[in-house]
Amino acid sequence: MPGTFVITPLYAGALGLWFLVLSVRVVLGRAGPGRPSLGDGGDPMMQRRIRGHANFGEYVPLALLLIALLELAGQPAWVLHALGATLLLGRLLHGWAFSFTAYWAFGRSAGIALTFLALAAASLLCLHVGLQRL
């Protein structure tokens, strides 16, 4: 139904919880004596946790905004679910690769590829919707 949000909140909620997990991983990496309260202290795993968390914050807000705009414009549920699921899977893979492993090439590359796919598709659909209504 145009003008309401039903699907986007599902993905926003799931992604919000995953962001919280990534945030806690950074906080736990700072806990304890001798651990850096700022920065990464030269610890490669801490660098990965910080970048995994930051990378999420760089891509997810815009992608969710685009999906929400498409929902507001009345795009079909299957389109919104396809975009949301692609984004969610991409961020789970990428976040796991960065925050929970020393190096997982598949998770990193598949995760960012899925994120880019969702972002590109949502962007193009927003342009299409906007141009149709001019």
pLDDT digits (tens, 9 = 90+) for 60-78: 999 999 999 999 999 999 9
pTM: 0.94
For residues 57 and 22, give the distance between their C-alpha atoms in angstroms, rounded to a whole number: 10
Task: Tell me which of 3-7, 47-51, 61-65, 76-80 is least confident.
Answer: 3-7
Rounded Cα–Cα distance for residues 75 and 81 (Å): 10
Q: Which domains does the chain have, with CATH numbers?
A: 8-132 (1.20.120.550)
